[in-house]
Amino acid sequence: MSVMRIIRLHMCAALVAASAVAACGGASDATGVSPEKTCQQDPTQAKCVVVTPVDTTSLRTLAARSNRFIGAAAGSLFGTNPTFDATLKREFNIVTPENSMKWSSIHGVSRAVYSFDAPDALVAFAEANGMKVRGHNLAWHNQNASWVTNGTWTAATLTDVLQEHIATVVGRYKGRIAQWDVVNEAIDDSGKLRVAESVWGRVIGPSYIETAFRAARAADPDAILAYNDYSLEFPGVKQDSAFALLQRLKAAGVPIDQIGFQAHFQINADGSGVPSKQALIDVFNRFAGLGLKVAITELDIRVRTSPAASAAELAAQTNGYSTVVQACLAVPACTTIVTWGVTDAASWVPGTFPGYGDALLFDSAFNKKATYTAVKTALGG
């Protein structure tokens, strides 16, 4: 091949490369391609095609960078749906059982019989995938075993039953469950302790709360013990009552380590429904002032599904998720964020709030939603 022929070939190659750079929008680094993009040569044309890389960083990776836990509740799809399990372990570094550790599930047959297969499987899954577990729950007015609610008890005997249950369940998972919802929803919407509707409050009285926490501490001295409730995110009588209750218990030396904000929110037609970032920061700091860690324990943000939510309502939902995560990151005591489920296909919302749903980070086909992107961005992704 002649020297001139070689020169012409090199000149043609240089022209093609220059055309490719121009097609990519000009040079912004040494390659002529902006750093966040990749320029791939199109073999059919003398130009390149811009390809923006997909960020595959998981939520759990981002949360870990700020020493936080991001998690989800595992319900009926866990262990039965491979996509559910894969999503759970890929995206989250803490998991909580939706129902399998509640009284009716784990201790539903009789005082002497426990059912540990489901919670054992969840704990083993978490350990195999580098995840923590958040136990839920040890004393609640709902989903109790019928042998408890229909029994004829004295305060002393039912106290024995409660202590025995906590010693058995918490003791079984000693050192394996990092956080426990010990007492759940002890305060009603009017700010009063539940009595008539709670077998614990009705038979034992308010002292069951202290009994439960002390029993949990005795069973696992290292677990983080939480009081968990809904609607504490909003100022008012319920928040004030919860604060006063925990203040009294802490002053009495009751071993309460954490306050759990359930954070079940509903987007209204005007886009309201989620407190502002500053309002959340203020309430988180209020309870942190008692020496408590803060957890967002059952986060979901529901929107209308019938009729369908407007674009403005969906935007408010997305912004709501971002707001909650940003508020948590702004408060050092806030260490944990758990969504109440993974996919809209298995959410509790439609069955409880007819006409509402689509409350989580993944749709029914496990596609990431705008809400997922909002959480990821807020975490620093």
Residues assigned a catalytic role? 185, 298
Please give the backbone phi and psi of residue 62, each rounded to the nearest 5 degrees, phi first: -65, -45
Rounded to whole angstroms, how far apart are CA atoms 166 and 163? 5
Residue 30 is encoded by which pair of tokens? 């040494």
Provide the 3-class DSSP secondary structure of residue 126. helix
Rounded to whole angstroms, how far apart are CA atoms 222 and 212? 16
Close Cβ partners of 258 (under 8 Å, ≥ 6 residues apart): 179, 224, 225, 226, 227, 292, 293, 294, 295
Dihedral of CA 204/207/209/213: which sign?
Answer: negative
* Interior/surface letters 123-139, b for 16+ CB within 10 angstroms, e for the rest: bebbeeeebbbbbbbbb
Close Cβ partners of 141 (under 8 Å, ≥ 6 residues apart): 185, 186, 194, 197, 198, 199, 200, 201
Rounded to whole angstroms, how far apart are CA atoms 24 and 36? 12
Cβ 211 vs Cβ 162: under 8 Å: yes
From 288, 271, 370, select the one nearest 327 (Cα to Cα). 288
